[in-house]
Structure 1
C-alpha cells in the first residue's frame, strides 16, 4: 500500500509541479505527517525533490526530472478504455484504478499535450443515462464484471417480465453492455446466448467452472443484431393517424404543409399505442385500427366527464 502511495505522490509532483504537504495529504487521503515521512523516503531513495519554505512554498521535483514509473497495471489499462465513463468505471469497481491510470497517462505526456488533455476533461463530459429514466441498483455488477474478465461461469437467480417471473440458471458471461444508463449481460446458457439486465439479477454465485468464448463471437456485432431483432419484434402492427404540424414534429414525421398530415406509423401493441398517442393530446387523431380509435375515444370521454367538460 505504501509503495503505491509513494508512486502516486511522485506522479502528482511530476504532473502538477509544486504542491504543498497539505495538498498532497488531501489528494492521497493521508495525514500531513504521513506526507512528510513519504517525502523523506523518496529523498532517501535518490528522487531529486526538494521543499521550499514560506507562503508560496511546497515540494517539487528538480526541473527536467521525469519518472519512468508510468507503466499501467491490468486494471488501470482496462480503466483507461473507460476514461470517458467515470461513473460506469466506478460501478465496475475500477474507480481507483481509473484515477491512477489518468494520473499516469498525464505524467507520461509532455507539457503541451498534458495541458490539452486537461482542457478536454474540463470542457467535455459524457453523461449516458436519459433524463427521465431512473437507473436501477446493480449490486451484482462487480461480480458479473469479474466473471467476464476471468471467463468463469456464474449461477444466477433472475427476475424477468414473463412467467415464470423468477428463474435460476448457470450461464457463461461473454460480455457487458451499457445502454442508456443500464447494464446488460450477454451470456451463454442452456437456451443459447441471451441478454440479461444486471439490475434484475436477484442473486449471483460465482463458480469455479471456466469457459471459452467461441472465436467467431463478436460482442459489438451480437449486440447490433440483438437490437435489430428487438425492434423487429417490438413493432408488430401499424396505425393510420392524422397529425398537426406540431404532432408530426414530435414523432419525427415530415409535415405536409401547414395543415394535417396523414401517415402510417408502426406500433408495438394496442395498449402501448394507446398511451403513446394520448401523450400527443389534440395534435393527433387515430383513424385505424378501430380498436385503438375506440380505446382513445373512451378515454377522452372519461377525462371530459372527470374534468366537468
Structure 2
C-alpha cells in the first residue's frame, strides 16, 4: 500500500477513539513497526495531535477535539456514501473501479461497531436496474475525461436501427446525463454544427483528439436535455384537453410518468386532466395508454378514442394473419 494510504489508514485507526499500539498497527497494515513510528512522526509533524501514552495500557490516540472535528466521516455520512455507491454502480457509473476502491476504504477504516452498523444497513439496501452492456464502460470513461478536460473526441456513431451504417463525427462533449437507465452525452457536433444529444451505447468507437474546446460557463447539460425532451409549448391555445378516469393506483402511475406528469392540469381521486398538443396526443399517447388496459378509460377527446380503436384493430389484424 502506498505511503499516503498507510498514513490515512493510521489516522482512521486513531480516530476510533480507543488507544492502539504500534504493534497492532503494524500487524493490521502488514508493515514494519519502525515504519509505523516514522508514519506517526510524520503525522505529528503535519499537525495531527497524536497522544502517546507509555506503559502496560499505553498506546496512541488522538486529542479528543480532533476526533470530533469534521475531518473524517461519521457513521451516517459513511452509510449515505456507501448506499449512494450502490445506486451509482447499478447505473453504470463510469469510474466504477475508483468507486470500489473508495468504498473499500470506508469499510476498512471503520471500527468494529461501525462495521456492524454499515453491514446491517447495506444488507437490506438493493437497487435493480436494466442490465447494461459492459462494453460501454470505456466509452463512458473517455467521455467523462473529455468533459472534464475540454477535449474534442472522434466517434463512430449509429442511429437507431442503422448499426451497420455508422457515421464518423467529431464532437465537443459538454456534459453527461443519465436518464431512464441510459447514458447520454450532450455535445456540439461538428458535422451538424449544433448541440445534440448522443446515446453512449450507440458510440461504437471513441478516440480523444488534440483539439480543445470552450463551452459557455452557464451551459447546463441537464437543462438542454430536458428542454429537448419536454420543449416549451408555443401555441398554448391549440392544446387539447385529455380527460381520463380509472382506478386511483393506475391514475397515480400515469400522473407520475415523466411525459404525462409534465402535462397534468388537474387531478382528483378518480380523474386526471391533461393538456397536450395534437401531434403527441394522436401518435405517442395512444400506444402508451394501451399498456394500462381496462384500469383507465379515456372520456375525451373522441378523436383519441377513435385512435385507440384503430391501433387495437391494426394489432388484431397483424396477429390474425
* 1:279 to 2:279 alignment: no
**Hey, what's the Cα distance between the residues in 2 that align with 1:245 and 1:255?**
13
* Structure 1 pair 38–300 and aligned structure 2 pair: CA distance change class (3 A): same
Query: What is the Cα deviation at residue 4 of structure 1?
Result: 2.8
Query: What is the TM-score when the length of structure 1 is the normalising length?
Result: 0.61
Residue in 2 that maps onto 1:186: 186
Please, which runs of 5 or more residues in structure 2 have no aligned partner? Answer: 42-49, 73-80, 256-263
* Structure 1 pair 40–250 and aligned structure 2 pair: CA distance change class (3 A): same
**Hey, what's the Cα distance between the residues in 2 that align with 1:51 and 1:207?**
58
* Structure 1 pair 250–2 and aligned structure 2 pair: CA distance change class (3 A): closer
- Secondary structure at the aligned position of 2:216 is classed as coil
* Structure 1 pair 210–44 and aligned structure 2 pair: CA distance change class (3 A): same
Residue in 2 that maps onto 1:11: 11
For the Cα contact (< 8 Å) 1:13–1:61, is it kept in 2? no
For the Cα contact (< 8 Å) 1:159–1:200, is it kept in 2? yes
* Structure 1 pair 177–249 and aligned structure 2 pair: CA distance change class (3 A): closer
* Structure 1 pair 263–64 and aligned structure 2 pair: CA distance change class (3 A): closer
Query: What is the Cα deviation at residue 159 of structure 1?
Result: 2.5
What's the C-alpha RMSD, in Å, of the aligned pairs?
5.3
Residue in 1 that maps onto 2:77: none
Residue in 1 that maps onto 2:214: 212
For the Cα contact (< 8 Å) 2:94–2:140, is it kept in 1? yes
- Secondary structure at the aligned position of 2:145 is classed as helix
Residue in 1 that maps onto 2:261: none
- Secondary structure at the aligned position of 2:37 is classed as helix
**Hey, what's the Cα distance between the residues in 1 that align with 2:232 and 2:253?**
23
**Hey, what's the Cα distance between the residues in 2 that align with 1:239 and 1:15?**
62
- Secondary structure at the aligned position of 2:197 is classed as strand
Greater Cα offset, 38-47 or 3-12: 38-47
Query: What is the Cα deviation at residue 157 of structure 1?
Result: 1.1
User: How many aligned positions are there?
Assistant: 266
For the Cα contact (< 8 Å) 1:50–1:60, is it kept in 2? yes
Deviations 1:33-58 (A, max 9, x none): 68342443021455469899xxxx9x
**Hey, what's the Cα distance between the residues in 2 that align with 1:20 and 1:4?**
20
**Hey, what's the Cα distance between the residues in 1 that align with 2:145 and 2:282?**
42
Greater Cα offset, 245-254 or 5-14: 245-254
For the Cα contact (< 8 Å) 1:43–1:49, is it kept in 2? no
Query: What is the Cα deviation at residue 274 of structure 1?
Result: 3.6
**Hey, what's the Cα distance between the residues in 1 that align with 2:319 and 2:214?**
61
Query: What is the Cα deviation at residue 292 of structure 1?
Result: 1.3
**Hey, what's the Cα distance between the residues in 1 that align with 2:126 and 2:280?**
25
Query: What is the Cα deviation at residue 277 of structure 1?
Result: 1.9
**Hey, what's the Cα distance between the residues in 2 that align with 1:97 and 1:300?**
51
* Structure 1 pair 198–121 and aligned structure 2 pair: CA distance change class (3 A): farther
